Structure 1
Amino acid sequence: MDLQLRNKVVIVTGASEGIGRAAAERFSQEGALVALAARTQNDLDNVANDIASTSGNAVIGIATDVRKEESVKALIEAVVKKWGKIDVLVNNAGTSSASRLEELTNEQVDEDFNLKVKGAIFCTRHALPYLKKSRGCICNTTTPGGKAPTAGTQPTALSRAAGISLTKTWAFEFANDGIRVNTVCVGFLRSRQHKLRWEQAAKQNSELTLDQFYDQFNARIPMGRVGEAKEAGDVIVFLCSGAASYVTGTAINADGGMSPVV
């Protein structure tokens, strides 16, 4: 299937690892020109070189802190200076932060909201004039917890619910400009974050293997396994492609069936 992404200019935030990197790899494989954004330039350079060497297409990395609007503005300006347009924006910055109310700090709430919600707003605000010109696409990464939160999942469930709300709002606001906006609600994936949690757990139980650590999630997932970043990245790329030209305002679960809501 031709996803009609050749020579499209794509910005992916949170692109140095995980879902962002996986989406960037697939975009590049499909012929897109990809700008990677994250905070550490050295990491971005390494990822950009890896992806470009495999796909043969141009990939650049631009150090960006999406919590700071001036940094986001510089990102957008650099991409437009390089390639003259923007066709796709993937708002993917942010990792899980989860606590019960008794342990939840104001700093946690502020950091999570600034990174995931205000970061998406800043990126979309400054990319919007160019997305209007290209009649482009936006995809926000959220989680099923934004639809159906459980105990001990704040502030991430709060910020992800806001991301889903922004998705629907922007789908209505930008429809007349030909811009589609969707979100992928990502469930449990193999990730660096979960590996770090396993390492902490292994300090208490030295016999605990990484696979055994993931087994605790497998039992809660109807498909019986934790997902891979590539599986979420592929959904993001599809939603931003010509193959999804009539899809907007949707929140698609990529969670192995774990969410109790569709």
Structure 2
Amino acid sequence: MKALNGRIALVTGAAQSEGIGQGIVGALLRAGADVVFSDIDDKAGLRSLEILNTKYGRGRALYLHHDVSSEHDWGHVREEVLARHGGLDILVNNAGSSFAGSLATVELEHLQRCMSVNFESQFLGLKTFRGTLIERSGLWSGGAAVVNNSSIGAYMGDPSNLPYGISKAAARMLTMCAARELGPCNVRVNSVHVGMIDTPLLRASFERRVEHGQASDVRKLQEDLESRVPLGRIGTPSDAGELVAFLCSDAAQYITASAFVCDGGMLTKV
């Protein structure tokens, strides 16, 4: 069943072939949507586009260069989306970055950069495409849909990861405020809070912890972290992607302003 047939989606921060963004892009394509995905890493983005063209057929996916912290870039992406597809039905604010540190170690510029990428970009996305989403919302019983990718870090007071946690908590509040404003226009806004997902970024973090003497080896570290997950495994990009695709479909037509945790139950052990 193609629950998203005829819909146009934009997914930011989705260049990496094994990243969460590509997991979301793949799920939306499988559900029938045509997908524009964006990133600042053009080499990875074009490589992922070729993979998608091979798997789903040419013309269903489009890659655009996009610095999500730039209001100018958001305007350019809007122009390209409208020129190619004439409108937008689904916006997935997936782009993000990790900035660790505590009150004692984080500089103001690091906090500001984290907020810019993880929070302000979502504000810019909503502001840029607000009118476009409203225009198309009447085409579907579930209306238009926005999903902001947050993290279980929004619920965990981790002093060693202060910038990241603050930015993700801010994204949650943005989601609720936008849902209140856009609900009467038949535009739904929800947030997804992922836990540990098997991506190149997570694997690199394992290797860094081993290099810094925080763990003896990568495999043992992974097993230790998996033991904290009630479902007994680290998640996959498609786990997050399928959840996003559901939230964008008419099956979720009475769901807005909600936070959906995708962490295998990890938060229960915090």
Range of TM-score over shorter length: over 0.9
TM-score, length basis structure 2? 0.90
RMSD of Structure 2 on Structure 1 (CA) = 1.8
State the distance in 2 between where 1:89 and 1:257 align.
27
Aligned position for 2:9: 10
Aligned position for 1:148: 156
Aligned position for 2:193: 185
SS of aligned partner of 1:163: helix
CA contact (8 A) 2:103 2:159 kept: no
Aligned position for 2:111: 109
1:67 corresponds to which of 69, 79, 86: 69
CA contact (8 A) 2:118 2:167 kept: yes
Partner deviation per Cα, 1:175-208 (whole Å, 9 max, x = no partner): 1110000010001111211221233344467x95
State the distance in 2 between where 1:260 and 1:211 align.
24
Q: Which moved more, 1:97-106 or 1:83-92?
A: 97-106
Superposition deviation, residue 224 in structure 1: 2.1
Superposition deviation, residue 260 in structure 1: 4.1
Indicate yes or no: 2:128 matched with 1:129: no
Aligned position for 2:205: 197
The residue type paired with residue 61 of structure 2 is V
CA contact (8 A) 1:3 1:242 kept: no
Partner deviation per Cα, 1:18-45 (whole Å, 9 max, x = no partner): 1111000111122211001100222211
Superposition deviation, residue 148 in structure 1: 3.2
State the distance in 1 between where 2:228 and 2:159 align.
15
SS of aligned partner of 1:141: strand
The residue type paired with residue 233 of structure 2 is R
Aligned position for 1:81: 83
TM-score, length basis structure 1? 0.93
The residue type paired with residue 196 of structure 1 is A
State the distance in 2 between where 1:140 and 1:201 align.
29
Aligned position for 2:48: 47
CA contact (8 A) 2:2 2:31 kept: yes
State the distance in 2 between where 1:100 and 1:20 align.
28
SS of aligned partner of 1:155: helix
Query: 1:90 and 1:107, CA in 2 relative to 1: closer, same or farther beyond 3 A?
Result: same
Question: How many residues were matched structurally?
Answer: 259
State the distance in 2 between where 1:149 and 1:245 align.
32
SS of aligned partner of 2:267: coil
CA contact (8 A) 1:28 1:52 kept: no
2:265 corresponds to which of 240, 257, 261: 257
Identity %: 26
In structure 1, the gaps of 5 or more residues are none
State the distance in 2 between where 1:177 and 1:63 align.
30
Query: Pairwise mapping of residues 240-255 of structure 1 onto structure 2 (< 5 A)?
Result: 240-255=248-263
In structure 2, the gaps of 5 or more residues are 138-143
State the distance in 2 between where 1:219 and 1:153 align.
22
Aligned position for 1:120: 122
Query: Pairwise mapping of residues 171-250 of structure 1 onto structure 2 (< 5 A)?
Result: 171-203=179-211, 209-250=217-258
Partner deviation per Cα, 1:208-250 (whole Å, 9 max, x = no partner): 5543231231122222221111101111111011111111110
The residue type paired with residue 25 of structure 1 is G
State the distance in 1 between where 2:174 and 2:243 align.
19
Aligned position for 2:141: none
The residue type paired with residue 33 of structure 1 is D
Aligned position for 1:22: 23
State the distance in 2 between where 1:200 and 1:188 align.
16
CA contact (8 A) 2:15 2:42 kept: no
State the distance in 2 between where 1:62 and 1:3 align.
25
